[in-house]
């Protein structure tokens, strides 16, 4: 009888825990993810939200984020970890030469195979798959979390006070607007020559003149950086640099963003991954913010106005040995929830189509139409150039903007460094 009472007592003690634990599963999965960006970014916050949901089902699951916003510092760390065979479970990467070498060494999981195994390949937006394919053979080894289109966002109040009736459509109109803003006492543009944003301005003229031919020839050493499109671009940079904020050469990404969001600068070049910072709780642009697309030179441009910078952002690599059944289970759960979380809670376009029940704000639908209209997306200079030459590109760009070198000297510097690094 006493044993029976003890058994009943033990049963009553464990019953609440059994009820509480029902539906909860052990995973044993820890993901160490090194992020090339800020933890405050919408894509990272959306990932954390989905990870928290997963943890409710798998209490022992852990997502360990290590965020490194400075690109040069980030790239250096990944190279050091790769050299010592200590790559994290996840890390951010573009489909560039160094990443391709890791794929060839068998260190990275095949993502196209994973998408198909999980049954989500057709739900991932075309640009979110194709943008991250390796140029050499078209293979896909990077997961995407974004489908992006880039705009120039502007402060409507500043434009009105400067007498600018409508957003500029041509580069001549753009420079005229910058001049009007400056004369009205405003800082026309906030940017950074430490990071990629100012390189987008540099890329615009060549893209309108030659599509991607100029930059792809220049980074492969097939043509000089001093080709007509390159000199025109360098001259354009020297024209617009006087409209940048004071301290642009040392400003980081967050500083650039803060200046625009705090109404201290009239324009900011940025992508749809930051729409959450520009919208209200309903997903609509805040009343004082407008946007326009990359200007054109004329109607005779090599690219139509609808072709601009549109891409999948930076991709996520998964270490091959980390692609366990538990990892696949999390990734499947992640993509089941991520699309809805991105559009409903963080107001940006995810890499995967949301569910039919998701409420997509009109602004995101409009951006999706812009993405779908792109036939040839502009190549990002900081991605297609070999990473060993990127530091020189940023430095020479800064010197050019400051008037310390001429367009011809800029071209000579880039021709030399690219040739040297290609030989290596």
Given a contact cutoff of 8 angstroms between Cβ atoms, the answer to whether 244 and 400 are in contact is no
How far apart CA 371 and CA 77 sit, in angstroms, is 33
Q: Residues 176, 301: one domain? A: yes
Give percent of the chain with pLDDT exceeding 70.
94
Is residue 27 very low, low, confident or very high in pLDDT (cuts 50, 70, 90)? Answer: low
φ, ψ of residue 220 in degrees (nearest 5): -95, 5
Same domain, 260 and 121: no
Q: Would you state the structure tokens that stand for residue 34, as one six-digit string?
A: 């090194």
Cα–Cα distance, 80 to 68 (Å, whole number): 14
Does 8 fall in a domain?
Answer: no
pLDDT at residue 405 greater than cutoff 70: yes
Q: Would the pLDDT of 13 be above 50?
A: no
CB atoms near residue 10 (< 10 Å):
10
- Residue 24 confidence (pLDDT): 55
Cα 411 to Cα 215: distance, rounded to the nearest angstrom: 12
Assess if residue 78 is contained within a domain.
yes
63, β-bridge pairs: 31
pLDDT band at 17 (very low <50, low <70, confident <90, very high): very low
Indicate if 131 and 200 belong to the same structural domain. Answer: no
Residues 237, 253: one domain? yes
21: pLDDT confidence band, cut at 50, 70 and 90? very low
Q: In this structure, are residues 397 and 202 in contact, taking their beta carbons and an 8 Å threshold?
A: yes
Q: Do both 157 and 243 map to the same domain?
A: yes
In this predicted structure, what is the pLDDT of residue 33? Answer: 98
232 and 294 belong to one structural domain: yes
Q: Within a domain: residue 4?
A: no
Q: Cα–Cα–Cα angle for 280, 174, 373, nearest 5°?
A: 60
Q: What angle do CA 355, 360, 363 make, to 5 degrees?
A: 150
Same structural domain, 270 and 324: no
pTM: 0.81
Condensed to tens digits (0 to 9), the pLDDT of residues 45-76 reads: 999 999 999 999 999 999 999 999 888 889 89
Tell me: pLDDT of 16 over 80: no
Domain membership of residue 215 (yes or no) is yes
pLDDT at 82 over 60: yes
Same-domain status, 342 and 295 = no
Query: CATH number of the domain that 410 lies in?
Result: 3.40.190.10
Alpha-carbon torsion angle 44, 45, 48, 53, nearest 10: -140
Domain range for 78 is 27-147+312-353
CB 240 within 8 A of CB 234: no
- Same domain, yes or no: 197 and 278: yes
The answer, yes or no, to whether residue 159 has pLDDT greater than 60, is: yes
pLDDT tier, 276 (very low <50, low <70, confident <90, very high otherwise): confident
Q: Are residues 125 and 176 in the same domain?
A: no
CA R_g for the chain: 24
Complete DSSP assignment for 266-317: SEEEEEGGGHHHHB-TTSPBPTTEEEEPPPBS-TT-SS-TT---EE--SEEE
Mean pLDDT score across all residues of the chain: 92
Is the CB of residue 85 less than 8 Å from the CB of residue 317? no
**93, 99 in Cβ contact below 8 A?**
yes
Whether 102 is in a domain gets the answer yes
Q: Are residues 260 and 329 in the same domain?
A: no
Q: Do residues 48 and 125 share a domain?
A: yes
Mean pLDDT over 182-186 rounds to: 98
In a domain, 69, yes or no: yes
pLDDT per residue as tens digits for the range 113-131: 999 999 999 999 999 999 9
Nearest in space to 151 (alpha carbons), one of 284, 1, 292: 292
10 within some domain: no
- Whether residue 118 lies inside any domain: the answer is yes
State the total domains in the chain: 2
**Mean predicted confidence (pLDDT) in 191-207:** 95
**pLDDT (0 to 100) of residue 226:** 98
């Amino acid at each position: 009888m006493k044993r029976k009472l003890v058994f009943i007592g033990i049963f009553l003690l464990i019953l609440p825990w059994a009820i509480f634990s029902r539906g909860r599963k052990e995973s044993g999965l820890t993901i160490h993810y090194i992020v090339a960006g800020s933890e405050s970014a919408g894509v990272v916050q959306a990932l954390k939200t989905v990870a928290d949901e997963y943890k409710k089902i798998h209490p022992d699951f852990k997502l360990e984020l290590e965020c490194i916003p400075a690109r040069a510092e980030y790239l250096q760390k990944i190279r050091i970890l790769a050299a010592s065979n200590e790559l994290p479970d996840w890390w951010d990467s573009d489909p560039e030469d160094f990443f391709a070498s890791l794929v060839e060494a068998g260190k990275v999981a095949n993502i196209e195979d994973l998408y198909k195994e999980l049954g989500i390949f057709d739900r991932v937006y075309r640009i979110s798959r194709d943008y991250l394919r390796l140029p050499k053979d078209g293979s896909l080894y990077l997961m995407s979390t974004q489908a992006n289109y880039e705009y120039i966002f502007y402060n409507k109040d500043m434009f009105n006070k400067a007498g600018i009736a409508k957003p500029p459509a041509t580069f001549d109109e753009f420079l005229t607007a910058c001049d009007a803003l400056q004369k009205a006492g405003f800082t026309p543009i906030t940017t950074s020559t430490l990071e990629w944003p100012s390189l987008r301005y540099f890329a615009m003229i060549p893209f309108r003149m030659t599509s991607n031919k100029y930059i792809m020839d220049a980074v492969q050493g097939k043509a000089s950086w001093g080709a007509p499109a390159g000199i025109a671009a360098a001259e354009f940079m020297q024209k617009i640099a006087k409209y940048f904020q004071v301290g642009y050469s040392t400003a980081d990404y967050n500083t650039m963003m803060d200046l625009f969001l705090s109404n201290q600068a009239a324009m900011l070049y940025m992508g749809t991954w930051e729409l959450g910072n520009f919208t209200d709780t309903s997903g609509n642009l805040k009343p004082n913010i407008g946007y326009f697309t990359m200007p054109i030179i004329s109607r005779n441009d090599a690219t139509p106005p609808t072709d601009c910078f549109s891409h999948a952002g930076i991709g996520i690599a998964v270490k091959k040995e980390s692609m366990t059944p538990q990892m696949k289970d999390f990734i499947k759960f992640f993509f089941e929830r991520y699309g809805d979380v991105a559009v409903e809670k963080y107001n940006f376009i995810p890499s995967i189509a949301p569910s039919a029940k998701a409420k997509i704000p009109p602004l995101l639908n409009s951006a999706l139409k812009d993405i779908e209209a792109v036939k040839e997306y502009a190549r990002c200079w900081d991605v297609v150039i070999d990473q060993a030459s990127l530091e020189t590109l940023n430095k020479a760009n800064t010197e050019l903007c400051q008037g310390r070198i001429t367009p011809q000297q800029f071209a000579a510097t880039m021709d030399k460094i690219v040739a040297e690094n290609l030989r290596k």
